[in-house]
Amino acid sequence: MRKRVFSGARPTARQHIGNLLGAINNYVKLQQEYDCIYCIVDIHALTTLQETDKIQGYINDLALDWLASGIDPQKSIVFIQSHVPEVTELHTYLSMVTPLSWLLRVPTFKEKAKAHPDNVNYGLVGYPVLMASDIVLYKAEAVPVGEDQLPHLELTREIARRFNALFGETFPEPEAKLTNFPLIPSLNSSGKMSKSEEGSAIDIANTAEETRARIMTAITDPARKLRKDKGHPEVCNIYTLHKYFTPSEVEEIGKECREAGIGCVDCKKLLAKNMNESLAAIREKRLKLAAKPDYIKELLNDGAARARVIARETIKEVKQKMGLL
Ligand code: SF4
């Protein structure tokens, strides 16, 4: 019996190369060893997404990015969260066993409430309960997470444990499948690549020309003002990206940079060429899939139908145990 893995992503923007090198490539690998369920969590997106008329476009983009990158709907269940309404039903049941104090201490809730004091909605407080429902509805045994997401998963485990203690063994406590997500730098700041920061990211769906243009305007070592100045590759985001896209030459690039043997323009051109070559097959597949919207829709409907078979069983069991049947 293969273990079941669950993971989800919010459809709030197109996926960028940081997402690809971190989460998506990991999803693709996990398919070899686990029964994977990958969910486009559109209800979660509503907690912060104000322009809901864009959500269908983002859902389509996320599905295309995943499928083009190698998530295989024959091996994994790929679906849209709201297409399996049992998740909201379970969310209600689990909210009855989750103390409010657990939710108010969640660091991301505190951060979001501070950042948007005028929009601290009930959904934002209950976000971890919905997340727990996503995972335990499918009785997932493992969840791929980065270190920063461990507190969220711990809360899911606590909620599952509490339900089991009150109503009898029902849910496995999902284990963290700790994943070392590489830190892919932003193109225009010292932070990590981000969908919300303008000019920071290169999307999987960008064309080769868009990729090149964005790389050519990216910041480099701020101390290297002239071609003859010696550089410091360790502080340069272009150099960090070479580690992923030009691995066999990265030592040489670092040496050349330090000795001013290579200029930033040539260094960036090399990165753009290698990045475009590495993404070419994914982009070509994405274009082909984008031309078949009915096929994508069918595929997501099929995923939801498969997910729903599991979800209905779990809800039946939960209702029985809670005395509702
Ligand atoms: S030569 Fe390359 S690594 Fe060195 S500062 Fe310029 S872009 Fe960065």
Q: What is the pLDDT of residue 182?
A: 81
Q: What is the pLDDT of residue 293?
A: 96
Q: Determine if ligand 1 sits within 6 Å of the CB of residue 264.
A: yes
Torsion of Cα atoms, 220 then 224 then 228 then 229, to 10°: -140
Give, using CA atoms, the residue closest to atom 5 of ligand 1.
221
* Distance, CA of 36 to chain centre: 15
Q: 97: how many CB neighbours lie within 10 A of its CB?
A: 18
Q: Determine if ligand 1 sits within 6 Å of the CB of residue 238.
A: yes
Q: What is the pLDDT of residue 183?
A: 84
Tens-of-pLDDT digits for all 325 residues of the chain? 899 999 999 999 999 999 999 899 999 999 999 999 999 999 999 887 778 899 999 999 999 999 999 999 999 999 999 999 999 999 999 999 999 999 998 888 888 888 888 888 888 899 999 999 999 999 999 999 888 888 889 999 999 999 999 999 999 999 999 877 788 999 987 788 988 888 899 999 999 999 999 999 999 999 999 999 999 999 999 999 999 999 999 999 999 999 999 999 999 999 999 999 999 999 999 999 999 999 999 999 999 999 999 999 999 999 999 999 9
Q: What is the pLDDT of residue 152?
A: 87
Q: Determine if ligand 1 sits within 6 Å of the CB of residue 262.
A: yes
Q: What is the pLDDT of residue 319?
A: 98
Going from the Cα of 185 to the center of ligand 1, the distance in angstroms, rounded, reads: 14
Give, using CA atoms, the residue closest to atom 1 of ligand 1.
264
Contact of 23 with 9, CB cutoff 8 Å: yes
Q: What is the Cα–Cα distance from 13 to 58, expressed in whole angstroms?
A: 6
Q: Where are the beta strands (DSSP E) in the chain?
A: 4-9, 35-40, 77-80, 142-145, 175-178
Q: What is the Cα–Cα distance from 152 to 250, expressed in whole angstroms?
A: 36
Contact of 267 with 246, CB cutoff 8 Å: no
Going from the Cα of 226 to the center of ligand 1, the distance in angstroms, rounded, reads: 11
DSSP states along 249-287: GHHHHHHHHHTT-S-HHHHHHHHHHHHHHHHHHHHHHHH
> DSSP secondary-structure letter at 118?
G
Question: Amino acid identity, residue 121?
Answer: N
Q: 199: how many CB neighbours lie within 10 A of its CB?
A: 12
Give, using CA atoms, the residue closest to atom 7 of ligand 1.
264
Checking 183-191 for CB contacts under 8 A at 24+ apart, the result is 184/17, 184/18, 184/21, 184/22, 184/240, 184/241, 184/244, 185/237, 185/240, 185/241, 186/237, 187/214, 187/215, 187/217, 187/218, 187/219, 187/237, 188/218, 188/219, 189/219, 190/237
Q: Determine if ligand 1 sits within 6 Å of the CB of residue 224.
A: yes
* Active-site residue list: 112, 192, 195
Q: What is the pLDDT of residue 118?
A: 83
